[in-house]
Amino acid sequence: MNAPVPPIAPETDAPVMRTTCPYCGVGCGVLARPDGAGGTSVAGDPDHPANFGRLCSKGSALGETLGLATRLLHPMARGGDGRMARVEWDTAIGQIAQAFGQTIERHGPDAVAFYLSGQLLTEDYYAANKLAKGFLGTANVDTNSRLCMASSVAGHRRAFGSDTVPGVYADLDEADLVVLVGSNAAWCHPILFRRLEAARAGRGTKLVVIDPRRTATGDEADLFLPVNPGKDTVLFAGLLAWLADHEALDHAYIDAHTSGFAQALASARAMAPDIEQIARETGIPTADLVEFYTLFTTHERAVTCYSQGVNQSAQGTDKVNAILNVHLATGRIGRPGMGPFSLTGQPNAMGGREVGGLANQLAAHMTFTPADIDRVRRFWRAPRMAAREGLKAVEMFEAVAAGRIKALWIMGTNPAVSLPQAASAARALGSLDFLVVSENVATNDTVSCRPHLVLPALAWGEKDGTVTNSERRISRQRAFLPAPGEARADWWAMAQVGRRLGFDEAFAWRSAADVFREHAALSGFENDGSRDFDLGGLASLDDAAFDLLAPVQWPVRSEGDTADKRFFANGRFFTPDRRARFVAPMAARLATEVGTDVPFILNTGRIRDQWHTMTRTGLSPRLGAHLPVPFVEIHPSDAAQLGAEDGALVALQSAHGSAVLEARLSAGQKRGALFAPIHWSNATSSNARINDLVAAVTDPVSGQPESKAMPVRAAVLPVRFRGFILSRAAVADLPALWWAKVAVEGGEGYLIATDQEPDEWRHHAAAILGTRDYAEYVDAPGGMYRAAAFDDAGALVGAVFLSPGGARASWDGLKARLAARTLSSTGRRHLLSGRGDDRAAASGPLVCACFAVSTSQIDAALAAEPGADVQRLGQMLRAGTNCGSCVPELRKLIQRRAPADLATVGVLA
Amino acid sequence: MSAPLIVIGNGMAAAKFCEELANQGLGRYSVAVIGAEPHLAYNRVLLSSLLAGEVTAGDIELRNRDWWQARGVTLIYGRPALSIDTERNRVNLADGSSLGFSKLVLATGSHPIRLPIPGMELPGVMTFRERADVDALLAAAKPGTRAIVIGGGLLGLEAATGVAAAGARTTVIHLMDRLMERQLDPRAGALLKQAVEARGIEVLLGASTAAIEGQESAEGRRVAGLRLSDGRLLPADLVIVACGVRPNADLARAAGLDCNRGVMVDDGLATSHADIHAIGECAEHRGQVYGLVEPAYDHARVLARCLAGRAAAYEGSITATNLKVSGVHVFSAGDFTGGAGTQDIVLSDPGIGLYRRLILRQDGQGTRLIGAVLFGDTADGLFYLDLIRSGRDIGAQRADLAFGPTFMTDFDTAEAA
């Protein structure tokens, strides 16, 4: 098994395991120390080069997400009666082998498919890819990474001939200008953003943020450019032309290492003929355009980081290339402090790309050329190689719906929530002849799609293998907890199926290390520098060395070749002529334009403290406290036109679906633009699965859907009552017309809306709370109802609160009571007031999730020390001193209190 | 120089009146107070506490002798007034003396109601009204004594708690279907019954008394039991009649002043005789008689101002009831009957014996509190009473109202008071 690293804290002899965070693509090192009693303490690994000891709010809360209450612990198969029942792993493996084997026999190999995840380890990905592409004969292997960074892959491959991230994180430390495009890094890549903030403080690095909405990241920028949705290519075409006009091009680099520049420049000039035209199209004021272009021209050490705002677009690949163009044209690539930098969303999107876990890749950064196919066939000794690209995610689910794919294996992802037109995807899943889902959790929207088989997968802390972060750094995820129930590694399950199908030798791995060595060997197989991805130097690691493997950047072409590397400073691209390609983007436009019936453009994305469909982060009360309900951000003027106050419920409707979300008024939104988070599902809310609304329209090159520009209409949903339910136990069948579920300390919370009268809720409350000792507050004419139930010890076990009107209800005073195992008699008497015992301590929304610091604590500190800045607040309350992702919010709170600064804020907004 | 002013009655109303008059116009009158009871004025409200042994006799004295002296008040106690000569403005005392007055204030209080049933005269049948009653009750209520209290109102419950605390096996019989029905709604009444029973006191509701039965003993014929109208006989060594009080208007009535249930007074607390006033429980104002200290104090304040030559008018009192039984907190104020045009807010937690009902009236002018019934936690009672009296619009604080002033945001409680 794994060799534990030496304990970092000498005062305890509990074993500490070095591992890697399972959230975003930054790939932070984590020190995990299980306490042996079900809990685990988590800290940043000071020696990991991605984070040097820091963790963000999500990473810090990992210890709160390791409970087994929601886990799937045994293989379950659907019986003749339609119910799921436990089966032996052996039976389950046999069912899969039989179903996939028979489907291929009857309908051909492309009737089966694998839908994978950027959460899988590289070894799992490798096993799936090998099984499908070498032994089943299909390239129908795609992944949720398609929804995340496929456009970056495609852009890289078009420009570089390979899917290569040229730079390293250290470039952020050494840059003089950092441009963030379509990236809310302050929330979504907080540790990298901290690194950037440190550079700004240390060397005065300038920060430009380009985003249709002013996010927490935009708030921190030296220059914020509120680009119109879909117009990034115009902005960067304009930059390319500006660079040419201001003699800022690196002609030597262009001449020596690239091709296609002249056409690209001509195209850019046509797209962005003058600054006024660019300003009109992008919506960015001329002066700001000039400032940005000038900054870029005068700062050679410039890094352009881009993320989902670029990728999740029907023109995402063009956007990537428009960015790559300016770096190629200035030769600012692969040198310290400069280069284009794709910030990956998932912990192992990069690892998936490396093994070929995308339908249009073969394996180890090889493609479907005859030479590559032959090479991989020989390496694998594969009997049935896939000969052509498979179906990309959206196409794959269309094929499922059309009945062309009949057997599907989903692993580690929740497509019924995350795919565009999610409801259609969910319906399609229900029509499969055979659906198997490998999962951590017993229920989610995908598991609700009537799979024939569900398999218990190992979760973070249990599984063992490698992941690759955004800077090509491979780190170990190590097991520090025992496998619960019958949970097994995904690579193991697939290997068993391979063996059951008769491929004993090809799937004889005994360990993740075996898989990794084979993967490394394939990457180095007949490589000799011809492919960027090469782990040949790690192919002969023994088990002990694999266990102790320190974070290492690829390529590792030979043993001991572990230094950090950048690519392309001296050209040597992976195109046939080793030259990079300039790509002229198509005319910038959105796939679907707004119209009179759908006048708003809906942007979707992540929030600071949640991850994907919340099956893990949703377990943490701390993380749930920041933004507890599904919401839609809307410009105050638009809200006023709709008649929506802050907190009102707003119904969004697109051509494909609807959602009901809480309005959050934000001057950071453009007029006519909305933003809603992606995280809520039918498991966590009545009607907030945002991808139900998003059209399955994709980029023609990358196949990535346009997730950030969906035309919708919006209307206030009038409700008579709003409120909440707190309960130690989960509540089934909520009798509310709208609800959202939130983890709270000591139980579950539900924010609800209802049209039913308090008198009806008296009955519901009795059913929800049980017929035990409970207190009630009834003001039927006033539309108020409150009830609270107590256990034998007098502690709160549940509460129901309802108020009239459309405003959101505050539960801060009650939440803490659910966690407490005791309640004083005074506390009980005041409980239904909805306030805490000590009114001064009534906490308000959480700002700093790491140290649980609330708005009211911050307000109190600022009242006590009016001049306090972010740093001082950190000293006083620790707020913002860990992950720092709340620093923008802290700054806002400080500004809100300082009248002198208000004018400035107003101008910026 | 000073005009002679006589106060008949030496209770709480009289003491308050003397205090107010001294504040308003010291020296204008020479004041004499005539009391029937042989004590300095005491706090009648605390008699139940005295009975319960929670305070001593000294504790309940309202003012000491020096206080009265300092205000130039002549105290004549233990000598009841026998009659009023309204022609000559004189009061005749039991010792045959008489005193002239320019102003007379009747503060004669109430009589306990005695039931028109056989056996009321028997030794062992007592009332609970005066200090002497406390001494008698304490002498009678010994461990093992069987005591029956007739009346489940405020006074009856306080008497029952007192004698029970002294060791008597106590039963309260009450004509109505709930305790304190004039102050409490059915839910509060039920909670109160539980709380009273929890102290080992038996409560019989809907029980009407037919007779007090006696039996011969060494000390002569005395009380032996209580016969209910359903025929049941409850054995008893002690029967306390606490069925309420009636205004003591005896002197006024005899003097020919206009009387109804009490001595009728106008908004200046004047009787039908211009020089004679009545305050406290003996007075009847706008058809209303009060059995509580708060209105009596209101009377005293208004009358003192009037007699000091200042403008003042009494327009009635909104009363509140506070049951003084330690550990049982009951408060009631205003109109709790509800009915058309009113709205209820109810906060209840039976598990800890808490109940709170607020009665609101909502109209074009806003939302006002018109009544409050509190059980279990009465700390906010006076706050609600002030809101009822002030008629303030509490519409904006409605959601927090039931939790009292501590929980009412943006509400200046000083303004309410």
A784 vs B contacts (CB less than 8 Å): 345, 398-399
B409 compared with A336, residue with greater pLDDT? A336
Q: Quick check: is A613 in a domain?
A: yes
Are A297 and A242 in contact, with CB atoms under 8 Å apart? Answer: yes
Distances in whole angstroms, Cα of residue A260 to Cα of each of A157, A158, A263, A579, A580: 15, 12, 6, 10, 9
In CATH terms, B125-243 corresponds, of 3.50.50.60, 3.40.50.720, 3.20.20.140, 3.40.50.300, to 3.50.50.60
Q: Do A49 and A186 reside in the same domain of the chain? A: no
Mean pLDDT of the A438-451 span: 97
Q: Quick check: is A498 in a domain?
A: no
Whole-angstrom distance, CA of residue A358 vs CA of residue A371? 19
Residue A13 has pLDDT above 70, yes or no: no
Whole-angstrom distance, CA of residue B189 vs CA of residue A576? 94
pLDDT recorded at residue A902 = 35
pLDDT recorded at residue B353 = 86
Q: Quick check: is A760 in a domain?
A: no
Q: Do A157 and A61 reside in the same domain of the chain? A: no
| Interface contact B344-A839, CB threshold 8 A | no
pLDDT digits (tens, 9 = 90+) for A811-843: 887 888 888 878 887 788 888 888 765 543 444
- Encode A145-184 in three state secondary structure: HHHCCHHHHHHHHHHHCCCCCCCCCHHHHHCCEEEEECCC
pLDDT recorded at residue A842 = 42
Q: Do A47 and A170 reside in the same domain of the chain? A: no
In chain B, which residues have pLDDT < 50?
414-417
Tokens for A808, please give them. 């959101």
Q: Determine what percent of chain B falls in helix, strand and coil, rounding each to the nearest 5.
A: 30, 30, 40
Min Cα–Cα distance to chain B from A117, Å: 49
Min Cα–Cα distance to chain A from B399, Å: 8
Of A418, A415, A441, A414, the C-alpha closest to A66 is: A441
- Residue B414 at interface with chain A, using a CB cutoff of 8 Å: no
pLDDT recorded at residue B340 = 83
Q: Do A154 and A301 reside in the same domain of the chain? A: yes
Q: Do A272 and A172 reside in the same domain of the chain? A: yes
Residue A882 DSSP symbol: S
ipTM for the predicted complex comes to: 0.83
Mean pLDDT of the A366-375 span: 96
pLDDT recorded at residue B328 = 84
Q: Which of A27, A42, A65 is a domain's end point? A: A65
CA terminus-to-terminus distance, chain A: 55
Q: Which residues of A192-211 are buried (b: 16+ CB within 10 A; e: fewer)?
A: bbbbbbebbeeeebbbbbbb
Distances in whole angstroms, Cα of residue B218 to Cα of each of B215, B221, B222: 10, 8, 9
Mean pLDDT of the A330-347 span: 96
Quote the mean pLDDT of chain A. Answer: 92
| Interface contact A776-B377, CB threshold 8 A | no
Residue A61 has pLDDT above 60, yes or no: yes
Q: Quick check: is A206 in a domain?
A: yes
Whole-angstrom distance, CA of residue A459 vs CA of residue A482? 10
pLDDT recorded at residue A908 = 30
Q: Which of A776, A828, A839 sits opposite B352 (nearest CB)?
A: A828
A870 compared with A44, residue with greater pLDDT? A44
pLDDT digits (tens, 9 = 90+) for A188-239: 999 999 999 999 999 999 999 999 999 999 999 999 999 999 999 999 999 9
Q: Quick check: is A792 in a domain?
A: no
| CATH code for the domain in which residue A51 is found | 2.20.25
Whole-angstrom distance, CA of residue B244 vs CA of residue B154? 9
Q: Which of A69-83, A405-419, A447-461, B215-229 has the lowest mean pLDDT?
A: B215-229
pLDDT recorded at residue A839 = 43
Searching chain B, which residue's CA lies closest to the CA of residue A825?
A: B352
Instruction: Tell me which CATH homologous superfamily contains domain B3-111+247-307.
Output: FAD/NAD(P)-binding domain (3.50.50.60)
* A positions 818-847 inside 8 Å of B (CB): 825, 828-830, 832-833, 835, 839
| Interface contact B352-A825, CB threshold 8 A | yes
| CATH code for the domain in which residue A853 is found | 1.10.10.1100
Q: Name the band, by pLDDT with cuts 50, 70 and 90, for residue A429.
A: very high
Residue A163 has pLDDT above 80, yes or no: yes
Residue A904 has pLDDT above 60, yes or no: no
| Interface contact B343-A782, CB threshold 8 A | yes
pLDDT recorded at residue A879 = 85
- Residue B399 at interface with chain A, using a CB cutoff of 8 Å: yes
Tokens for A123, please give them. 């070894």
Give how many domains chain A has, as a whole number: 4
Q: Do A169 and A318 reside in the same domain of the chain? A: yes
- Residue A759 at interface with chain B, using a CB cutoff of 8 Å: no
Min Cα–Cα distance to chain A from B390, Å: 22
Query: B329-416: what fold?
Result: Enolase-like; domain 1 (3.30.390)
Searching chain B, which residue's CA lies closest to the CA of residue A781?
A: B343
Q: Quick check: is A502 in a domain?
A: no
Decide: helix, strand or coil at residue A300.
coil
Residue A136 DSSP symbol: I
Beta strands in B115-259 (DSSP E): 125-127, 146-150, 169-174, 202-205, 209-217, 220-228, 233-235, 238-241, 245-247
pLDDT recorded at residue B417 = 36
Q: Which of A781, A790, A835 sits opposite B343 (nearest CB)?
A: A781
Are A91 and A493 in contact, with CB atoms under 8 Å apart? Answer: no
Min Cα–Cα distance to chain B from A833, Å: 6
Residue A55 has pLDDT above 90, yes or no: yes
Are A729 and A750 in contact, with CB atoms under 8 Å apart? Answer: no
Confirm whether pTM is higher than 0.80: yes
B406 vs A contacts (CB less than 8 Å): 839
B329 vs A contacts (CB less than 8 Å): none
Are B256 and B270 in contact, with CB atoms under 8 Å apart? Answer: no
Tokens for B26, please give them. 């010291």
Searching chain B, which residue's CA lies closest to the CA of residue A813?
A: B407
Distances in whole angstroms, Cα of residue A216 to Cα of each of A94, A299, A493, A647, B406: 51, 25, 42, 20, 37
- Residue A774 at interface with chain B, using a CB cutoff of 8 Å: yes
Whole-angstrom distance, CA of residue A686 vs CA of residue A9? 45
Whole-angstrom distance, CA of residue A32 vs CA of residue A45? 9
Segments forming the whole domain that contains residue A235? 150-342
Tell me whether residue A367 is exposed, middle or buried, using C-beta atoms within 10 angstroms of its C-beta: 0 to 12, 13 to 18, 19 or more.
middle
H/E stretch holding B82 reads: strand B81-85
B345 vs A contacts (CB less than 8 Å): 777-779, 782, 784
Residue A340 DSSP symbol: E
Q: Which of A275-284, A287-296, A788-797, B42-51 has the lowest mean pLDDT?
A: B42-51
| CATH code for the domain in which residue A681 is found | 2.40.40.20
Distances in whole angstroms, Cα of residue A328 to Cα of each of A151, A152, A253, A338: 18, 16, 8, 11
Instruction: Provide CATH 3.30.390 ranges for chain B.
Output: 329-416
Q: Which of A718, A737, A769 is a domain's end point? A: A718
Q: Which of B345, B350, B354 sits opposite A829 (nearest CB)?
A: B354
Q: What is the residue whose two structure tokens read 């009649």? A: B241
pLDDT recorded at residue B411 = 63
Of A620, A789, A585, A597, the C-alpha closest to A151 is: A585
Residue A128 has pLDDT above 70, yes or no: yes
Residue A7 has pLDDT above 70, yes or no: no
pLDDT recorded at residue A283 = 97
| CATH code for the domain in which residue A286 is found | 3.40.228.10
Instruction: Provide CATH 3.50.50.60 ranges for chain B.
Output: 3-111+247-307, 125-243
Rg (CA), chain A: 27
